[in-house]
Chains A and B, each alone.
Chain A
Amino acid sequence: MAEKAFLFDSTRCTACRGCQAACKQWNEYDEEIPTVENGVDARNRGSYENPPELSPTTWLRMKFTEVERDGKVDWFFTRMACMHCAKASCENVCPTGAISHLEDGFVLIDQQWCIGCGYCVQACPYHVPHKDEHTGTARKCTSCVDRRNAGYEPACVKACPPDALLYDDRDKLLALARQRVQGLRAAGNDRANLYGDTELGGLNVLYILEDDPEIYGLPAEPVLATRNAVGQWLSGVLTAGLITALPFWFLFKRKRELESTGGGAR
Chain B
Amino acid sequence: MTWSAPIWIYLWLAGMAGGAFVAGFLASRFSGQGQKPLLPMATVVGIPLAVLGVLLLIVDLGRPEWFWHLMTQFKALSPMSMGTWILIAWVMIAFVLVVMWWLDSRVEEQVASLMKRLEGLLAAVNALLSVGLISYTGVLLSVSSQSLWAGTVLLPALFVASAVSTGVAMLVITALAVNWATREGSSFRVSGHTVAMLAEADAIVILIELAVLIGFVIWLVISGATDALGVLFTGAMAAPTWIGVVLLALLIPLGLDMAARGKPLEGGVVRTVLMSSFCVIVGGLILRWVITIGGQM
Contact = CB atoms under 8 A, between A and B. Distances in A.
Note whether A and B form a binding pair.
yes
28 contacts: A93-B79, A115-B66, A117-B62, A118-B2, A119-B80, A122-B296, A123-B144, A136-B62, A226-B77, A226-B78, A228-B150, A229-B139, A231-B153, A232-B153, A233-B135, A234-B153, A235-B135, A235-B155, A236-B157, A237-B132, A237-B135, A240-B135, A246-B204, A252-B30, A253-B30, A256-B31, A259-B34, A266-B193
Contacts of B131: 236-237, 240-241
Interface of A: 89, 92-98, 113-119, 121-125, 127, 130-133, 135-138, 223, 225-226, 228-229, 231-241, 243-253, 255-256, 259, 265-266
A116 B61 contact: yes
Contact of B30 (A96, A132, A244, A248): A248
B70 A240 contact: no
A219 B204 CA distance: 41
Interface string B18-60: 0000110011001110110000000000000000000000000
Nearest to A112: B66
Nearest to A96: B69
Interface in B141-158: 141-146, 149-150, 153-157
A117 B164 contact: no
B186 interface: no
B69 A113 contact: yes
B174 interface: no
Contacts of A114: 62-63
Nearest to B152: A235
Nearest to A97: B73
Contacts of A239: 135, 156-157, 160-161, 208, 212
A113 B138 CA distance: 26
Given A94-B78, A131-B2, A244-B161, A116 B145 contact: no
Across the A-B interface, give the 8 residue pairs with the lowest CB-CB distance, nearest first: A116-B62, A236-B135, A136-B62, A236-B156, A247-B204, A248-B26, A252-B30, A95-B80
B77 A93 contact: yes
B187 interface: no
A236 to B, nearest CB: 3
Contact of A244 (B67, B77, B155, B208): B208
A243 B134 CA distance: 14
Contacts of B31: 252-253, 255-256
Contact of B143 (A113, A229, A238): A229
Nearest to B83: A95
Contacts of B32: 256
Given A93-B143, A228-B153, A249-B26, 9 more contacts: A92-B75, A97-B75, A115-B66, A122-B145, A137-B63, A236-B157, A240-B135, A247-B204, A250-B204
B205 interface: yes
A231 B139 CA distance: 9
